């Protein structure tokens, strides 16, 4: 990789790493692990010839092993699990093949319960939840572009030092958090509004400059915060307002769900708005706006081919 977006590798001993998922996040992480000096396999559903990572005018071919059939996989020390939440069950064969009692799985998905889903599949492995802050897009199979931001957040627990060591020299900033529950709900609060509203309007983040859209986003965020508090997150109205204001920073970009919509890929609204609805029912909290978003997103049909060219900048994962 090029120093401009993946600094020179660190001193961590070479270890075996499998990245499951060949999308934007998976491709970026495979490149990061290769730069850190690890032995990297990129596990994908559909094979492609090579992995290319781009940042600005730079373009680099990444020396990773691309594997498209789990029957060729063997247990590794580390698995970076970066498939969309709705593909988790379909990726079970990869987890089964790649994991044993010495494997650590870092789960890098949107939503709030990805680590638990993976833990049920491979109870003998060590599972670490992570929040992803990597603004990247997949331009075509095997070609991913980093726009900006390149970090993850993990629990500040006994596994944190090991994860920090794994990512040493990768160019990915790893930030341990003492309260990952609250951090996860803060991210979900942003995603339930930005992903749903950009996808339904087919507009990038500039749509949040409109007052009525901001009012709708505020309502979605307040509902989400109420459910998050019931689930143990420490959220306040100040957090809601700060999250809404943060949308102005991303005015020129899109969201991952908008890109999926434009490319006619499945949408992970059940992991975002749908999760808020499901948990709200458990706590007896009314979330009419998130219910409406879930219903509308579920009713979407494919776009005409002429509208499937995504905006150039992807902003929010």
114-123: long-range contacts, CB 8 A cutoff, minimum separation 24:
114/81, 114/85, 114/88, 117/85, 117/88, 118/81, 118/88, 121/88, 121/92, 121/95, 121/96, 122/95, 122/96
Q: Is 213 domain-assigned? A: yes
Burial of 127 (0-12, 13-18, 19+ CB in 10 A): buried
Supply the pLDDT for residue 106. Answer: 98
Q: Which domain holds residue 60?
A: 16-177
> Of these residues, 35, 92, 187, 307, which one is catalytic?
187
Please tell me whether residues 161 and 24 are part of one structural domain: yes
The last residue of one of the domains, among 177, 197, 226, is 177
- Taking the whole predicted model, whether its pTM rises above 0.85 is answered as yes
Please tell me whether residues 32 and 166 are part of one structural domain: yes
Pairing of strands 173-177, 143-155: parallel
The last residue of one of the domains, among 177, 206, 237, is 177
CATH classification at residue 207? 1.10.1040.10
Determine whether 35 is an active site residue. Answer: no
The last residue of one of the domains, among 127, 158, 177, is 177
The string of pLDDT tens digits covering residues 297-306 is: 999 998 886 4
CATH classification at residue 79? 3.40.50.720
Distance CA 86, CA 244 (A): 27
Local confidence band at 137 (pLDDT 50, 70, 90 cut-offs): confident
Answer whether residue 166 shows pLDDT above 80. yes
The string of pLDDT tens digits covering residues 174-227 is: 999 999 999 999 999 999 999 999 999 999 999 999 999 999 999 999 999 999
Mean pLDDT to the nearest integer, 42-63? 92
Spatial CB neighbours of 212, under 8 Å, sequence gap ≥ 6: none
């Amino acid at each position: 990789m090029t120093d401009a977006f993946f600094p020179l590798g660190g001193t961590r001993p070479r270890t075996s790493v499998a990245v499951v998922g060949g999308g934007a996040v998976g491709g970026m992480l495979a490149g990061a692990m290769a730069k850190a000096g690890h032995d990297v396999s990129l596990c994908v559903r559909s094979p492609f010839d090579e992995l290319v990572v781009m940042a600005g005018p730079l373009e680099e071919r990444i020396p990773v092993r691309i594997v498209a059939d789990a029957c060729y996989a063997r247990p590794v020390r580390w698995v970076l699990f970066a498939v969309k939440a709705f593909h988790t069950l379909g990726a079970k064969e990869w987890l089964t093949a790649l994991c044993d009692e010495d494997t650590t799985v870092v789960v890098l998905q949107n939503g709030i319960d990805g680590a638990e889903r993976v833990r049920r599949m491979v109870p003998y492995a060590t599972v670490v939840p992570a929040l992803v802050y990597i603004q990247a897009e997949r331009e075509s199979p095997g070609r991913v572009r980093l726009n900006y931001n390149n970090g993850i957040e993990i629990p500040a627990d006994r596994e944190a030092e090991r994860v920090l060591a794994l990512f040493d020299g990768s160019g990915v900033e790893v930030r341990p958090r003492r309260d990952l529950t609250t951090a996860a709900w803060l991210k979900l609060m942003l995603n339930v509004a930005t992903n749903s509203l950009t996808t339904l309007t087919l507009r990038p983040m500039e749509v949040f400059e409109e007052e009525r859209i901001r009012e709708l986003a505020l309502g979605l965020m307040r509902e989400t915060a109420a459910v998050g508090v019931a689930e143990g997150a420490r959220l306040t109205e100040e957090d809601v307002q700060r999250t809404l204001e943060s949308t102005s920073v991303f005015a020129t970009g899109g969201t991952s769900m908008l890109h999926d919509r434009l490319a006619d890929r499945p949408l992970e609204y059940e992991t975002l708005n749908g999760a808020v609805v499901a948990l709200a029912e458990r706590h007896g909290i009314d979330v009419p706006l998130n219910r409406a978003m879930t219903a509308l997103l579920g009713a979407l049909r494919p776009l005409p081919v002429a509208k499937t060219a995504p905006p150039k900048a992807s902003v929010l994962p």
